[in-house]
Structure 1
Amino acid sequence: MMGDEAAAQVEQLGELARILEDAGYIEKKGGRYDLTPRGMRKIGQKALKDIFSQLKKDSFGKHKTSFIGAGGERTDVSKKYEFGDPFLLDLEKTVMNAVFREGPMTPVRIQPPDFEVYRTELITSSSTVLMLDMSRSMILRNCWAAAKKVAMALNQLIQSQYPKDNLYIIGFSDRARRMTAEGLNQVQWNEQVYGTNMQHGFMMARQLLGKHKSGNKQIIMITDGEPTAHLEESGEVFFAYPPTQRTVTETLKEATRCTREGIVINTFMLEKSRYLAKFIEQLTAINKGRAFYSSPESLGEYILVDYVSQKRKHVK
């Protein structure tokens, strides 16, 4: 028999479950509760809010700034009108230019050289594959929760602010596999599986991004270890630790194919091992992508701000 305090806690949990079910956030399937699509959106919104609220406390100096150009969304900065510019007239500046040119007289005669228009920022479309390391060390070092939170927040960001963008999620351990943001909470871990198969992850990401012929294409890889597995021509998985040169070579071959197809690989490393650092140096040299050392606590800040900043592309 449970004590009064334990019984009260069980009753409170039952009441909480009823409230969440009535609100449409969870539903009962069999003997367990599962999140509904509405519940997943709520969690994604919470993750997004948590990450961006942390950013308000930090400096943005380490992140790239937006570029100003022609075409796209209007900024608050104006410039002299040039042929071909969108005619987003800054009326106040235009009139003042005419007044400065002719003096304070009425009526004000505006001439073509007086026109000033607002500058614009080009918002580019993007197709992104988020590659999540699902090796056991990610769980043991408490990195998986941070990676999952980023995936859900990035999914929510794209759905709410950049609906024309495409996001795919790939989990990789011995093999790579497609995942959904909704399915991240149902991930089952197999203790008998070994390997960090980046090669298969890059291959699958390249195939997914190959469906999109325009816009930016990128891979965001979150990992805490070096590649220790690859696919043989037969489709079988080869695993070895420490990593063999063969695995490294096969992984870099796939990264080279990504590079040829214009796919940028951004790596967020949660560990500073000698093997990983050496591999990332080779990967970055081949792909001309970027690499960041991060902690689980700051992972979301880096990735979401970097994603938003990369949306703005220099045109003029």
Structure 2
Amino acid sequence: MTASDRYSYGPYHEGPDPLAPPLDLREALSEIGREVMEGSSPRSALEELLRRGTSGMPGLEEITRRLWERRAEISRSHRLDGTLQQVRELLDRALEAERRALFPDPSDDARFAEMRLDALPSSTAGAVNELGEYPWRSETGRENYQKIRDLLGEELLESRFQGMKQALRSTTPQDVERVRQMMSDLNDLLAAHARGEDTEARFAEFMAEHGKFFPENPHDTEELIDTLAARAAAAQRMMNSMSAQQRAELNELVGQAFGDPRIAQQITDLDAKLRDLRPGQDWESARRFRGDDPLGMGEAVAAMQDLGELDELAAQLAQSYPGARLEDIDLEMLERQIGADARVDAARLAELERELRRQGLFEQAPDGSLRLTPKALRRLGEVALRDIVGKLRSRTGRRETALAGAAGEPTGASRPWQFGDTEPWDVSRTVRNAVLRSASTGSPSVTLDVADVEIAETEQRSRAVVALCVDTSWSMVQDGRWVPMKRTALALQHLISTRFRSDALELITFGRHAGTVDITELTGLEPVWEQGTNLHHALLLAERHLRRHPDAVPVVLVVTDGEPTAHLDPDGTAYFNWPPDRRTLAVTMTQVDSLARLGASISVFMLGEEPRLAAFVDLLARRSGGRVVAPDLDGLGAAVVSDYLRGRRR
């Protein structure tokens, strides 16, 4: 048996592209997370991601740009008077040949014929109609005049029936009669359908008799009407787009189609029926064409259909209607208009949207809006922590540690070895893995593979209680510190929840008032125009959290860009004043002293270089035995995580 007997090869038609690169959900989620942290809703963030795309995937904006380029190319390259121009050229050749034939003849009949030609209307349509009964002496003139009639008939039919020119390559009187009979039968069929009659049998008979005129091969009367109405509406838009003079000339000329005025009348009747049956089609709009390439009626209608499809695709790509999904995009139409690459790009975006939803990264809130799930937040935290660890490595030269604790005391649990781990192996589990793997492959001997190795996890003998106080006043927003602050909180929360699970973290926000939030609330927190930096209230909440965990090492971290301008009065109201009131500074320092008595040193991460802020945080650090760090925005997360690790080792 040869290889050709065992295998067969052919084009791949269905399902996702098996050779397409895998979707990068991490980058997509990171972009969505950044938008959410800047204040966008998850739904808006998802829409923005799909609009912009990712580094390796063009978005809807780029595909739409290609659409408009194609639209501009059609409008700027063409004009709609191609049929009129061709008729004029044929008419001029016919008249020139006829005058040459009349000139040698000295008879009065010849002079009368010349006078008749000289008196023809200046308009092309008027001249063609006047010559309808003219007795041509020149065979060339007669042939050119007949070409005008054939051209008008072919263009008129092509404007309503795609591919009609190919079906009428050499027009004969028998061809014209077949077309006229088809038109009559078609109008009868549509009239019966409009009356509500069952046209299934009549449709089958019609297609058996005239199917060669319909390359689209419609399956029933409704589909036939859809096809014809789209073409007829495009023809009407073409007429609307012409100048009044061009439109009048063309309307007058079509009566000469094939020299049989019944054809034009049947087209008029057909258009009227289609307009009644499909009023939702665009019958009224017009386009502006300003190019140099003249289009015949059939070509112009095809261009109008292309423009209509481009408009429809633009609406689908805009996704601005209720319940819009990328799966709504007509990929076949998109490929037909701007190429296979656009189809692939749109399909990849739809797959990205579908995968983000399928993986449970979004959930429906009770109010109907989308929100990030805990799974999505964990992934965002993982990405943020990875970025921070990379900065810590570059800053200190030390690699990331994968210890579950700091003191190296075994927990009894193990996990698969990862590159960079230095913990002791769990020998029994490692050998057991090797035995099971070797037995499953049928190997007579046991071999050790890196995939078999498990290491023993360790735990910290002591635990920490951590209060992360983040400034949410308006200055954090206007100075671009909003997202770095949120990413820092995400990274710290992820580090504690995955590596130091026994530690107790409290997230505290403070503006005019302070409050405790979970990571979901902080991630989606929207900026609010509110004056006031109430560090006093934040430290009160931090002390309450520390007192709930008296056996843990206290760690207080404060991220702020302004000195305190508000404090909490005994009745619970917030007092605000700028510049800071002495009472505000005094009660804030009293709260710092109260935390110091619990053994908590306060690390302040100062954003900005305002001298008054620098003087205040320096005093705060000295009073609490803490320290001041002034990181840039890129280094904020690394500074906070590093200080947390340093504080919990005390």
TM-score, normalising length: structure 2:
0.38
AA at the equivalent of 2:518 = T
Gaps of 5+ in 2: 1-60, 69-313, 320-325, 327-345, 399-405, 411-423, 425-457
Partner in structure 2 of residue 20 of structure 1: 356
Counterpart Cα distance in 1 of 2:603 and 2:372: 31
Counterpart Cα distance in 1 of 2:318 and 2:501: 42
Comparing both chains, which one has the higher relative contact order based on Cα–Cα distances under 8 Å and sequence gaps of 6 or more?
Answer: 1
Counterpart Cα distance in 1 of 2:585 and 2:464: 28
Q: How much does 1:230 deviate?
A: 0.5
Residue 49 of structure 1 is aligned with which of 345, 366, 386?
A: 386
When residues 163 and 222 of structure 1 are mapped into structure 2, their CA distance, relative to the original with a 3 A threshold, is same
Counterpart Cα distance in 1 of 2:382 and 2:318: 28
Q: How much does 1:310 deviate?
A: 3.4
Instruction: Tell me the secondary structure at the aligned position of residue 396 of structure 2.
Output: coil
- 1:214-240 deviation digits (Å, cap 9, x = unpaired): 121021000001000001122211111
Instruction: Tell me the secondary structure at the aligned position of residue 394 of structure 2.
Output: coil
Residue 144 of structure 1 is aligned with which of 482, 485, 497?
A: 482
Moved more, 137-146 or 27-36: 27-36
Partner in structure 2 of residue 169 of structure 1: 507
Counterpart Cα distance in 2 of 1:299 and 1:278: 20
Partner in structure 2 of residue 240 of structure 1: 577
Counterpart Cα distance in 1 of 2:564 and 2:397: 32
Counterpart Cα distance in 2 of 1:19 and 1:122: 39
Partner in structure 2 of residue 222 of structure 1: 559
| In the alignment, structure 1 residue 270 sits paired with structure 2 residue 607 | yes
Equivalent pairs counted in the alignment come to 259
Counterpart Cα distance in 2 of 1:54 and 1:302: 9
| In the alignment, structure 1 residue 301 sits paired with structure 2 residue 644 | no
TM-score, normalising length: structure 1:
0.75
Contact 2:556 2:602 in 1 (8 A): yes
Counterpart Cα distance in 1 of 2:524 and 2:638: 25
Counterpart Cα distance in 1 of 2:616 and 2:633: 21
Instruction: Tell me the secondary structure at the aligned position of residue 634 of structure 2.
Output: coil
Counterpart Cα distance in 1 of 2:484 and 2:538: 20
Q: Give runs of aligned pairs for residues 23-102 of structure 1, distance below 5 A.
A: 23-29=359-365, 30-60=367-397, 72-73=408-409
Instruction: Tell me the secondary structure at the aligned position of residue 266 of structure 1.
Output: strand
Gaps of 5+ in 1: 62-68, 75-87, 89-119
Q: How much does 1:123 deviate?
A: 5.1
Q: Which has the larger radius of gyration?
A: 2
Q: Which has the higher strand share?
A: 1
AA at the equivalent of 1:20 = L
Counterpart Cα distance in 2 of 1:285 and 1:56: 29
Partner in structure 1 of residue 307 of structure 2: none
- 1:106-163 deviation digits (Å, cap 9, x = unpaired): xxxxxxxxxxxxxx99653111000010000101111111110011111110111110
Contact 2:477 2:527 in 1 (8 A): no
Counterpart Cα distance in 1 of 2:480 and 2:350: 29
Counterpart Cα distance in 1 of 2:567 and 2:518: 23
Q: How much does 1:294 deviate?
A: 1.1
Contact 1:127 1:166 in 2 (8 A): yes
Contact 1:130 1:219 in 2 (8 A): yes
Residue 261 of structure 1 is aligned with which of 566, 577, 598?
A: 598
Counterpart Cα distance in 2 of 1:59 and 1:189: 35
When residues 123 and 140 of structure 1 are mapped into structure 2, their CA distance, relative to the original with a 3 A threshold, is farther
Q: CA RMSD in A?
A: 2.5
AA at the equivalent of 1:24 = G
Q: Which has the higher helix share?
A: 2
